[in-house]
Structure formats: structure tokens, C-alpha cells
């Protein structure tokens, strides 16, 4: 497989990378996107994309924009996202990505804090939400919508068709310095206002290039992009990295259509978060209950043999005669699962949160080339990555080339390298709290390093201390509990309390089936029989945790915690304080009499 990786020295900046790729691969397919009008997937070459970038630059040229000015992109993963970003970067502008379903208040705060001058949106649905705060967009000169917009009018609002000029234009290049600010990415913290992470061109380019020293990506590879480009995981690994390697990116139509898109697009590379794999795992486990005992045994045997095969290939297990069964088990079981992922996967990377051992064992056992990575927005974002030939799923892998890591006296992982952020936008105090003068960045994660691999063991601040002094890791417990097909989201409670309890968001369809099966149909969710079922299930799921971590009481709801209602961040982390405030009466009930 011939590679064509662009060195950092040949690109210097992000728009420089785009132009170098266009020069090298002008007629190759850069992007693939579903066209709603024709109901077909359309391919676009690098040359076509560059011509459109030049046209977008000409439209931006109407405004009094200077290098270093900020523009905001609030678009779904799409070719239009690329056009807006590359046009702006080529003019020396700074990108402020926004999550597509962010609240009006949060959008207003970010736009004003960054001083953004242009805002790109999709259409009606977004405008209906953000127009609530549009009067507060103090620095925005124009709002450009990809689709026509009805409803509340704003003199700054234009559709992209009326905004773009006719004709052909030369692509412009005002890249600026490699170490100059390229983007401000606002991290939606679990508490307080989001902070703007400042990343340079070199931060991102060196991170993508270091990754390509760890994984093999070639021009004939195909990525399916579905994680939000507003997050650095997808942006670096699923967008800049393929550009650097000359691979093609297909933009998924969205999470609801992801299963269908996987089968249609047949990607060779998939960048995902654990929750996607956990959902597939849950469906597989639920489906197995309907199968015959022989079919269940066959499936479990395939996972068992496949896992042993993996461990043997990694040099951690000896050869065993049962490995001779793999070809037939692969054909009967594993291939059917892999076909639902497109059937061509050469690499499946997961990050953003830890993946549970049961989930990784199932997919790896069935032959999915799954590797886990670790990092933060502040690290552009990858610090470490498992390699296909050095893969311990319990770890987050080895540090990337050029990235140094060490463990502090209190067990915190700190990192140093060319990928570490410039700092937080207009927030020196927050910067000084995490960034040492000599460049070491404090991740906030507790970790261990064994045989060069990093093992994350918890968050410095995310430990629940019960009133008896016992300590529990809520994230680990929540991750284990979320494997239940009925439990869409789980939050463990217990800080300064006598015992732990849990709040659970139920998956409506699964709960309807389960309630009927368990004789709970028609009962209110607060009924003691429903609570007993929840507590019993949690007891089984969390049986490997210490006795003091046993969930004594639980409450449930069918109302999901979403970005829109402010309960979770765009990276799917629970805002614990917000959820506790919203469910305060319920929590009080769980501790009545104690």
C-alpha cells in the first residue's frame, strides 16, 4: 500500500496542507457527500474543492476582515464545513467551531468572547434556536445559512447562494506563521462557562503527522466522518490526518443514518467514541436473547476464540488448538457483524472516553481492528494511541512520537510536546492553572505507566467520597451500568452521602419491551417494583465493585440528557451539577430517612 504523506515542513500551515494536497492529488476524490435532491452520493475532487474554496474566499473578501480575525462555523460535518474553514484559513483568519445543537445562550457567549465577525449555520432549525440570542451577537457582521431560512428576520442573515459571487477566482494564501493561532475551540466544561482553547497550525499539523507514524493510512483509504467537526478528535484524526495522507472522507448523513451509511459507504477507517460501540454491543446482546441456545453458544465461542487469537498475535498468549476453529467461526459469526460496519474496516479508533473491557473484547474478538487513544482538546488532541501490533485494550497506548509524559507525585498524568495548546483565550488564570512555564500540561487524569503504556485510572477531581470516607470512581461505575440495554444514561450519586444511589435515563423502546416482560407495564416509573428492578440490575452490573459501592436506591426517567437541554456537553460528558439541580427533588427522595 503506497503512502503519500505530506511532511509538516512541506505544508507549514493548515491551508498550506490543503493547497499541497490539491497540487499533489488534484483529480483524486477528496470528499463524498449525500445529495438530498438526487438521493445519490456525490464525489468531489481536490481541484473542484479548491475552486469552491476560492469562491468562498471572494465572498469573505467583501468584509473588512484582517488576518487574525475570527469566524464561527456552526455546520454539520459536510463539504461546506471544509469550504468555510479552508477559505477562512487561507485568508489568515481564525476558526471558532460551534456544536450544531448548542444553546442560544452558549452560542452568544462564545461568539462575543471570541469576537467572531462571521457565522455559518445550516438553516431553519438552528436559526430558530440561536435567533433567541441573535440581538446579543455583538461582533457578528453576517450570518450565512447553507439553506433558506424562514421565521425571525435579521438584516445580517443571508443564504449561501445569494452570498457567493459568480465566476472563477484564484485561491488566496495569507497563511501567517506556522506557530500562529489557527483555531479557538471552546471546551464545554461540566461546570462554568466554556474556555477557548487556542491551537496553532503547528499544534495540529504535528499531531496529525505523529499519528501517521503510528498507523498506516494510504490514498485508497476511505474515512466515514460522523463525530462532530466542532470537536478536535474528529477534526485532527478524521479530517486533517486524511488530508495529510491523501485519503478520501465521506460525510455521514448523521447518527440516525449511521448504520445504513456504514453499509453503503464501506469505510476502511472509522473514528468513533465508545458510546457508538456500546450501543451496537447492547443491540447484539439483546438480539442474542432471542436466538437459540446453539446460536448463543456459537457466538460466544467466536468471541472467545477470536480474543485468544488476538492475544496470541499480540504475543500475550500461546498457540492453542481451538484457533483452528477461527476460519469457520469467522464465516458463521464474525463476518456477519463486520458486514454491518461495512465489511472493509482496516482501522477503528476510539477515544473521547474509556471503552469498557466487555465491549472492546467483543469487537476485537470478532475481528474489528479496534485501538484506543487518549487526549484532550488542549493537546490537539491526541497524547497517546495503541498500535495495531502493540494493543492492550485496557490501556490508552504509547505516547505519540515527540510527546513526553510523566506521572506527578500525586498520580496525575502530565504531558509536553509540540501539540500542547498556546493557552486559553483571554484567560491567563485558567492557563496558568494547567500549563507550567516549562511547557508541561496538567491533564487532570490519574494514570499509571507500565511497559511504556499509559493506563488511565480516574480523574483527579471526579471521585465520590461517601460520608464514611470510602471513595468511589463514578465514571467507571456509570460506564459499567450503561451496558444494560435499557439504561441509555446513568449518573451515580453519593458525595458526602451515606450510600450511593443512581439516576437513570431509560431507552424508551427497550424499556417498553422490558416492562412488559418483567410485569412492570403500566406502573409509574416511581413505583417501588420499578425501583427494585433497577437496583437488582445495577447490583449485577456492578458486582465487581467494592461492597460499599453497591447502589442502594435508584430513580429513572424517559427524558434524555442532551446538549440541547444543557445536561451534557457536546462531547457527551454529564454536567453533574446541572443534572443534580434539575432532579433535586428526586435525589432528596432517594435519601429520605438518612
The model's pLDDT over 485-500, given as tens digits with 9 standing for 90+, comes to 999 999 999 887 888 9
Reduce the DSSP state of residue 46 to 3 states and report it: helix
Mean pLDDT, the chain, integer: 93
The pLDDT > 90 percentage for the chain reads 78
Residue 518 phi/psi, 5-degree rounding, is -95, 5
pLDDT, residue 283, reads 85
What is the average pLDDT across 33-40?
95
Do residues 508 and 523 touch, judged by C-beta distance below 8 A?
Answer: no
pLDDT, residue 498, reads 84
Per-residue three-class SS string for 93-139: CEEEECCCCCCHHHHHHHHHHHCEEEEEECCHHHHHHHHHHHHHCCC
Domain 464-590, classified CATH 3.30.420.40, yes or no: no
pLDDT, residue 273, reads 85
Tens-digit pLDDT profile for residues 148-165: 998 778 999 999 999 999
pLDDT confidence tier of residue 177, bands split at 50, 70 and 90? very high
Q: Which of the residue ranges 120-129, 467-476, 536-545 would you say has the lowest mean pLDDT?
A: 467-476
Do residues 585 and 568 touch, judged by C-beta distance below 8 A?
Answer: no
Do residues 156 and 182 touch, judged by C-beta distance below 8 A?
Answer: no
* DSSP calls for 469-512: S-EE-HHHHHHHHTTSTTEEEEEEE-TTSSS-EEEEEE-HHHHH
Do residues 268 and 222 touch, judged by C-beta distance below 8 A?
Answer: yes
Q: Examine the pLDDT at 51 and tell me if it is beyond 80.
A: yes
Q: Examine the pLDDT at 399 and tell me if it is beyond 90.
A: yes
What is the average pLDDT across 70-77?
97
Do residues 209 and 15 touch, judged by C-beta distance below 8 A?
Answer: no
Burial of residue 324 (CB within 10 Å: 0-12, 13-18, 19+) is exposed
Q: Examine the pLDDT at 191 and tell me if it is beyond 60.
A: no
Tens-digit pLDDT profile for residues 301-351: 999 999 999 999 999 999 999 999 999 999 999 999 999 999 999 999 998
pLDDT, residue 121, reads 97
Q: Name the more confident of 129 and 250.
A: 250
What is the average pLDDT across 77-100?
97
pLDDT, residue 161, reads 95
Residues of the chain with CATH 3.30.300.30: 464-590
pLDDT confidence tier of residue 472, bands split at 50, 70 and 90? confident
Measured CA to CA, the distance from residue 480 to residue 545 in angstroms comes to 10
pLDDT confidence tier of residue 594, bands split at 50, 70 and 90? low
What is the average pLDDT across 439-458?
94
What is the average pLDDT across 389-395?
96
Q: Which residues pair with 450 in a beta bridge?
A: 453
pLDDT confidence tier of residue 571, bands split at 50, 70 and 90? low
Q: Which residues pair with 493 in a beta bridge?
A: 501
Q: Examine the pLDDT at 1 and tell me if it is beyond 70.
A: no
pLDDT confidence tier of residue 55, bands split at 50, 70 and 90? very high
Q: Examine the pLDDT at 103 and tell me if it is beyond 90.
A: no
pLDDT confidence tier of residue 479, bands split at 50, 70 and 90? confident
Tens-digit pLDDT profile for residues 522-563: 999 999 999 999 999 999 998 878 777 889 999 999 999 988
pLDDT, residue 185, reads 96
For the 8-271 domain, the top CATH level (class) is alpha beta
Q: Dig out the grid coordinates for 307 from the structure.
A: 480474543
pLDDT confidence tier of residue 11, bands split at 50, 70 and 90? very high
Q: Examine the pLDDT at 190 and tell me if it is beyond 70.
A: no
Q: Which of the residue ranges 182-191, 302-311, 385-394 would you say has the lowest mean pLDDT?
A: 182-191
pLDDT confidence tier of residue 86, bands split at 50, 70 and 90? very high
pLDDT, residue 267, reads 98
Residues of the chain with CATH 3.40.50.980: 8-271
Amino acid at each position: 500500500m503506497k503512502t503519500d504523506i505530506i511532511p509538516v515542513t512541506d505544508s507549514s500551515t493548515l491551508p498550506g496542507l490543503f493547497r499541497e494536497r490539491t497540487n499533489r492529488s488534484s483529480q483524486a476524490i477528496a470528499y463524498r457527500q449525500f445529495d438530498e435532491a438526487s438521493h445519490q452520493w456525490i464525489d468531489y475532487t481536490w481541484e473542484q474543492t479548491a475552486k469552491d474554496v476560492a469562491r468562498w474566499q471572494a465572498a469573505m473578501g467583501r468584509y473588512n476582515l484582517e488576518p487574525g480575525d475570527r469566524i464561527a462555523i456552526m455546520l454539520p460535518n459536510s463539504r461546506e464545513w471544509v469550504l468555510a474553514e479552508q477559505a477562512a484559513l487561507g485568508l489568515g483568519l481564525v476558526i471558532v467551531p460551534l456544536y450544531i445543537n448548542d444553546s442560544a445562550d452558549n452560542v452568544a457567549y462564545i461568539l462575543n468572547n471570541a469576537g467572531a465577525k462571521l457565522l455559518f449555520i445550516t438553516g431553519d432549525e438552528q436559526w430558530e434556536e440561536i435567533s433567541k440570542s441573535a440581538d446579543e451577537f455583538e461582533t457578528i457582521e453576517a450570518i450565512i445559512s447553507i439553506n433558506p431560512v424562514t421565521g425571525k428576520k435579521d438584516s445580517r442573515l443571508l443564504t449561501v447562494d445569494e452570498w457567493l459571487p459568480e465566476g472563477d477566482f484564484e485561491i488566496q494564501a495569507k497563511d501567517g506563521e506556522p506557530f500562529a493561532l489557527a483555531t479557538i475551540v471552546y471546551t464545554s466544561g461540566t461546570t462554568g462557562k466554556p474556555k477557548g482553547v487556542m491551537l496553532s497550525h503547528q499544534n495540529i499539523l504535528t499531531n496529525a503527522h505523529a499519528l501517521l507514524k503510528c498507523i498506516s493510512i494510504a490514498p485508497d483509504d476511505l474515512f466515514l466522518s460522523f463525530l462532530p467537526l466542532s470537536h478536535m478528535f474528529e477534526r485532527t484524526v478524521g479530517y486533517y490526518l486524511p488530508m495529510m495522507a491523501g485519503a478520501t472522507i465521506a460525510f455521514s448523513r448523521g447518527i440516525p443514518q449511521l448504520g445504513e451509511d456504514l453499509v453503503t459507504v464501506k469505510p476502511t477507517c472509522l473514528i468513533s467514541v465508545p458510546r457508538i460501540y456500546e450501543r451496537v454491543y447492547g443491540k447484539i446482546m439483546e438480539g442474542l436473547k432471542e436466538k437459540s441456545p446453539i446460536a448463543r453458544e456459537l457466538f460466544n465461542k467466536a468471541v472467545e476464540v477470536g480474543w485468544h487469537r488476538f492475544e496470541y498475535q499480540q504475543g500475550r498468549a500461546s498457540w492453542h488448538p481451538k484457533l483452528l476453529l477461527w476460519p469457520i467461526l469467522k464465516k458463521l459469526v464474525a463476518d456477519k457483524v463486520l458486514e454491518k460496519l461495512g465489511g472493509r474496516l482496516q482501522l477503528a479508533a476510539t477515544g473521547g472516553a474509556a471503552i469498557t473491557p466487555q465491549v472492546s473484547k467483543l469487537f476485537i474478538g470478532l475481528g474489528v481492528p479496534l485501538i484506543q487513544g487518549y487526549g484532550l482538546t488542549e493537546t490537539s488532541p491526541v497524547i497517546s494511541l495503541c498500535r495495531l501490533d502493540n494493543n492492550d485494550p485496557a490501556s490508552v497506548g504509547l505516547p505519540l512520537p515527540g510527546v513526553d509524559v510523566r506521572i506527578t507525585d500525586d498520580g496525575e498524568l502530565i504531558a509536553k510536546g509540540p501539540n500542547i495548546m498556546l493557552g486559553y483565550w483571554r484567560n491567563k488564570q485558567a492557563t496558568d492553572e494547567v500549563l507550567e512555564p516549562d511547557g508541561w500540561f496538567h491533564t487532570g487524569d490519574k494514570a499509571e505507566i507500565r511497559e511504556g503504556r499509559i493506563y488511565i485510572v480516574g480523574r483527579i477531581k471526579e471521585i465520590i467520597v461517601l460520608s464514611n470516607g470510602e471513595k468511589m470512581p463514578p465514571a467507571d461505575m456509570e460506564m459499567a451500568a450503561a451496558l444494560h440495554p435499557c439504561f441509555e444514561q446513568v449518573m451515580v450519586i453519593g458525595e458526602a452521602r451515606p450510600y450511593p444511589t443512581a439516576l437513570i435515563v431509560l431507552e424508551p423502546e427497550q424499556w417498553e419491551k422490558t416492562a412488559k416482560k418483567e410485569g412492570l407495564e403500566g406502573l409509574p416509573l416511581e413505583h417501588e417494583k420499578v425501583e427494585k428492578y433497577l437496583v437488582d440490575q445495577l447490583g449485577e452490573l456492578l458486582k465487581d465493585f467494592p461492597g460499599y459501592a453497591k447502589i442502594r436506591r435508584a430513580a429513572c426517567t424517559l427524558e434524555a440528557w442532551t446538549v440541547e437541554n444543557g445536561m451534557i456537553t457536546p462531547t457527551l460528558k454529564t454536567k453533574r451539577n446541572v443534572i443534580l439541580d434539575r432532579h433535586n427533588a428526586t435525589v432528596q427522595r432517594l435519601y429520605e430517612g438518612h
